[in-house]
A and B are shown apart, each in its own frame.
Chain A
Amino acid sequence: MSLDTTYLILEYVGIVLLLFLFGHCVYRSINYTLQIICLVAIVNNLNESVLFVHYGSHVSTEAQGTTGCLVSAILEHFVPLALTIMAGCMGFNVWFLIVRTSTLVERQLIKWYCLVSFGVPLITTAIAIILLRDEPYWTAYPRRYYCSMGENDVTLGTFTIFMLLGAVFGIIFTRRLYEPGVLINCKEPASRYTTLTCCRFLSPSRLYASVHTVVYLTRHYLRTRRSMNSSGSSFQRSIVLELR
């Protein structure tokens, strides 16, 4: 199978998976932030595949200077940034509800998340367009499958930096979840000497600590679930155990 076919299959299978995830969240009325992320990711996949569907494998030679290429480049500047900031908001949401013990619910906060995650990319894209207005086609150039804005200092400042900031924003807030005393009781003898307890002090081994934390939390979750099931907890309870 060629690389181009693989790319197209990945894009469209991805859209189907996202549609299912979106439908599932809507049907169960859960994870409102994830619903928005699914919709934005669908737009992203469509944008990244529409030129390839239209021009075939000649996108890089034939799409230069067309309106489609220009629109694709602008969307490629806007949509991934919105997706990254929304993913950061998802981390912030759980931190805000669990660590900060807020009385607000996700449904009330979603409008603010949307404002931030669509507002910031809108501003940065507008700034990039204004700064690149004298360049031919706003430096939009065709890549292998879609168009993108040229790799220059303007896109570095208005896209790359914000993408990294968005990703770090999400990691910082989820990192707070595995700090001692937030999710795991550190006074328990079993967890006292784990790397989880030490992750505050051993900064070079934080990556290892985070992997260990995921393993520890998963093991803890499965063990508790098993003990609840074997102790004769009801069917209804086992439904509640699942992620909502």
Chain B
Amino acid sequence: MNIPIDLIAHLPFYPSKPVFALIASSHCIRLIIFSFAFGLIVLMAVLQKLVETQEQRNSGEKSETLDLSSDFSGSIVPFSLFIIFGTTRDSVRTMSLLVCPWRNRRNKSTVGAQQQQQDPENQLRMTPKASSSGNQFSFEDMLRQG
């Protein structure tokens, strides 16, 4: 597997584990996109104040487009936040949990069990191993196991 070594070296936790490098890289991609998108939104909000001259302010003449973009800049922020940070697989899971919790429960109890029975390899993968911390999905234990 081709994992950049420098990325792992710069991580504060579990530096020998490449899986955290991927988490960080995914987070960084989203953060870079967000910072530029947010910069554009801020520019939309303040462009009117920067561009308009003192004479225009005194006479009350306003650019309709700049005025409108400044008004709408605040309502774009939630959408950019949701598109960038709310589209992870984790948040899709939370969404499905919210929208149809009963379906989730059914999947867990019946469909998941059927799949496990059909696929012995998958069954091995899905079976949590014994954990020293008591939490069967603990990241620490998972990483200790490699």
User: Are the C-beta atoms of A234 and B39 separated by less than 8 Å?
Assistant: no
Assembly CA distance A213 to B29 (angstroms): 9
Taking the complex as formed, is B79 at the interface, i.e. its CB lies under 8 A from any CB of chain A? Answer: yes
Q: Which residues of A contact B86 (CB under 8 A)?
A: 17, 20-21, 24
User: Are the C-beta atoms of A182 and B10 separated by less than 8 Å?
Assistant: yes
Q: Which residues of A contact B33 (CB under 8 A)?
A: 214
B52 — nearest CB in chain A belongs to which residue? A151
* Chain B 53-90: CB-based contact to A (< 8 A → 1; otherwise 0): 00001000000000110111011111101100110111
Taking the complex as formed, is A181 at the interface, i.e. its CB lies under 8 A from any CB of chain B? Answer: yes
One of A7, A15, A224 near B1 (C-beta < 8 A) = A224
One of B31, B74, B82 near A177 (C-beta < 8 A) = B31
Assembly CA distance A162 to B125 (angstroms): 52
Q: Which residues of A contact B139 (CB under 8 A)?
A: 240
B121 — nearest CB in chain A belongs to which residue? A232
Assembly CA distance A228 to B21 (angstroms): 13
**Given the interface contacts A87-B38, A174-B31, does A10 sit within 8 Å of B12 by beta carbon?**
no
Assembly CA distance A23 to B78 (angstroms): 14
User: Are the C-beta atoms of B77 and A217 separated by less than 8 Å?
Assistant: no
Q: Interface residues of A: mostly helix, strand, loop or mixed?
A: helix
Assembly CA distance A169 to B23 (angstroms): 23
- In this complex, how many residues of chain A approach chain B with their Cβ under 8 Å: the count is 89
Assembly CA distance A183 to B3 (angstroms): 10
Taking the complex as formed, is B26 at the interface, i.e. its CB lies under 8 A from any CB of chain A? Answer: yes
User: Are the C-beta atoms of A80 and B74 separated by less than 8 Å?
Assistant: yes
**Given the interface contacts A97-B12, A237-B142, A243-B26, does A48 sit within 8 Å of B75 by beta carbon?**
yes
* Chain A 76-104: CB-based contact to B (< 8 A → 1; otherwise 0): 00001001100100110010011101110
Taking the complex as formed, is A168 at the interface, i.e. its CB lies under 8 A from any CB of chain B? Answer: yes
Please report which residues of chain A, range 61-75, place their CB below 8 angstroms from some CB of chain B when the two chains form the complex. Answer: none
| Subset of 21 A-B contacts with CB under 8 Å | A23-B98, A24-B91, A80-B45, A101-B12, A102-B12, A144-B68, A151-B49, A151-B57, A156-B50, A163-B45, A175-B32, A182-B6, A183-B28, A184-B4, A217-B28, A217-B32, A218-B29, A220-B4, A235-B125, A241-B26, A243-B26
| 8 extra interface residue pairs, beta carbon distance < 8 Å, beyond A24-B86, A44-B74 | A20-B98, A90-B34, A145-B71, A151-B49, A160-B50, A163-B42, A185-B7, A221-B26
